[in-house]
Amino acid sequence: MTAQRSLLAGLVLLLWAAGAARAAEPGPRAVVRETIDAVLGIARSEGASAARRDAAFAVVKRHFDFEAMSRRVLATHWAVASADARTRFVGLFAELLARTYWRRIANYRGGSVEFVAERVRDDGYATVATLVHTDTTAIPVDYRLQRTATGWQAYDVTIEQISLVRNYRGSFQDIVHKHGIAGLLQQMESRIAQLPAE
Amino acid sequence: MGLLLLAGLAALAFLALELGDVSPPFAHHYELRARFVSTSGLREGAFVEIAGVRVGQVTAIDLDSDAYEAVVRMRLDRRLSLPRDAIASIRTTGLIGEKFVKITPGGADENLPPGGEIVDTESSISIEELISKYIFESDSR
């Protein structure tokens, strides 16, 4: 009887532990939803634009793996880039994205973001499909995630079936071919300087 | 009579190999798969290119009836190895030309094994549909 009872207790404990482990690691859909909700919440809050931008960026950084993104964007040039050039690229690329998209996010007054589908593959990749509703139209936006030691991390976004990573991979490739990685970093810096900081 | 038939068959085989897209089974190729939301307009035999260079062709396009996704099989030159984070995109030659698969290599250390799957893909986009959507559905302000 006691043996049975302790067995039952053990089983309950085991199930509880499994549940806790699952709760500790949110799925791809939960990760994307949490990030979008937090960013939109910040975008719609009151306060200085620069401060809100930094707060939103901090949230995005938690679930977007900018290093994985940068490696994919630099593609074949990543392997030959120095450690210093890689670090600089990751920083500049994140800043470039933040400046390019913050204004659009801050100005987004649409209805809602609808979660359409979640596809999780056996090999640790996942796609979360969403529809961003504006006043007049719906834009399909898909997030691509990879399972890492720190949970699910996004590494690409496709809008209307056009991949952000593939887009920058193409345009940066051209710049690196003509001006080298140093030239690319320089162009990114001047582009960032042209974009409004808030 | 038999000799003539043999010569005819040999000529036919030669023509098939030279002109057609038939390749002998002992050729040095390997297969990769890729999943797309839509492959509209892509046909079997369409070419696969990297940096504008033809490196293989599409051998089969099937529907995964569970996910309603298209599974494209491609045959590539065995000497070519692709990083795991390569992206396969369905593109059109010119504005209204034929569809083909364009591969852009990534920067991962690992390569895709023969029979492996390219995870990241871009489906075919219809320029006409996109234009019409943003003409009719987005506000003009």
Query: Do B120 and A144 make contact, defined as CB atoms within 8 angstroms?
Result: yes
- Report residue B96's pLDDT band, with 50, 70 and 90 as the boundaries: confident
Report the pLDDT value the prediction gives residue A106, as an integer from 0 to 100. 81
Strands (DSSP E) contained in chain B are 29-36, 47-50, 53-64, 69-77, 87-92, 99-104, 117-118, 120-122
| CB contact set of A74 (below 8 Å; sequence gap of 6+) | A81, A86, A89, A169, A172, A176, A181, B107
Tokens 């960032």, located at residue? A192
| DSSP secondary structure code for residue A111 in this structure | S
Using a CB–CB cutoff of 8 Å, tell me whether B130 touches chain A: yes
Q: Return the residue in B38, B39, B109, B119 with the most chain A beta carbons within 10 A, the one to mutate for interface testing.
A: B119
Structural domain boundaries enclosing B26: 2-136
Domain count, chain B: 1
pLDDT above 90 for B55:
yes
DSSP string for A131-165: EEE-SS-EEEEEEEEEEETTEEEEEEEEETTEEHH
| DSSP secondary structure code for residue B132 in this structure | H
pLDDT above 90 for B100:
yes
Using a CB–CB cutoff of 8 Å, tell me whether A135 touches chain B: yes
* Chain A residues whose beta carbon lies within 8 Å of the beta carbon of residue B106: 71-72, 75, 169
Q: What is the pLDDT along chain A (198 residues), one digit of tens a residue?
A: 556 666 666 656 555 655 555 556 789 999 999 999 999 899 888 888 888 888 999 999 999 999 999 999 999 999 999 999 999 999 999 999 988 888 888 877 777 899 999 999 989 999 999 999 888 888 899 999 999 998 999 999 999 989 999 999 999 999 999 999 999 999 999 999 998 876
Is residue B23 one of the residues assigned to a domain? Answer: yes
Domain A28-194 listed as CATH 3.40.50.300: no
* CB distance A195 to A187 below 8 Å: no
pLDDT above 60 for B22:
no
Q: Give the SS3 label for residue A94.
A: helix
Q: Which H helix or E strand runs over A114? A: strand A113-120
| CB contact set of A148 (below 8 Å; sequence gap of 6+) | A65
Is residue B141 one of the residues assigned to a domain? Answer: no
Using a CB–CB cutoff of 8 Å, tell me whether A107 touches chain B: no
Predicted complex ipTM: 0.79
Using a CB–CB cutoff of 8 Å, tell me whether A78 touches chain B: yes
- Report residue B141's pLDDT band, with 50, 70 and 90 as the boundaries: very low
The pTM (predicted TM-score) of the whole model is 0.80
Nearest residue in A to B51, CA atom: A170
Report the pLDDT value the prediction gives residue B133, as an integer from 0 to 100. 79
Using a CB–CB cutoff of 8 Å, tell me whether B128 touches chain A: no
> Tell me: the pLDDT tens digits for A149-192?
989 999 999 999 899 999 999 999 999 999 999 999 999 999 99
Q: Return the residue in B91, B122, B132 with the most chain A beta carbons within 10 A, the one to mutate for interface testing.
A: B122
Using a CB–CB cutoff of 8 Å, tell me whether B140 touches chain A: no
Report the pLDDT value the prediction gives residue A95, as an integer from 0 to 100. 92
Residues A146, A65, A188, A95, CA torsion sign: positive
Report the pLDDT value the prediction gives residue A192, as an integer from 0 to 100. 92
Query: Do A72 and B123 make contact, defined as CB atoms within 8 angstroms?
Result: no
Report the pLDDT value the prediction gives residue A24, as an integer from 0 to 100. 64
CA distance A40 to A102: 11
Smallest CA–CA separation between A127 and chain B, in Å?
Answer: 10
* Chain A residues whose beta carbon lies within 8 Å of the beta carbon of residue B38: 161
| CB contact set of A176 (below 8 Å; sequence gap of 6+) | A74, A77, A183, A184
Is residue B68 one of the residues assigned to a domain? Answer: yes
* CB distance B74 to B48 below 8 Å: yes
Using a CB–CB cutoff of 8 Å, tell me whether B49 touches chain A: no
Residue with the larger pLDDT of the pair B24 and B11? B11
* Chain B residues whose beta carbon lies within 8 Å of the beta carbon of residue A140: none
pLDDT above 70 for B53:
yes
A193, with CB counted inside 10 A (0-12, 13-18, 19+), is exposed
CA distance A174 to B2: 60
Is residue B120 one of the residues assigned to a domain? Answer: yes
Query: Do A169 and B138 make contact, defined as CB atoms within 8 angstroms?
Result: no
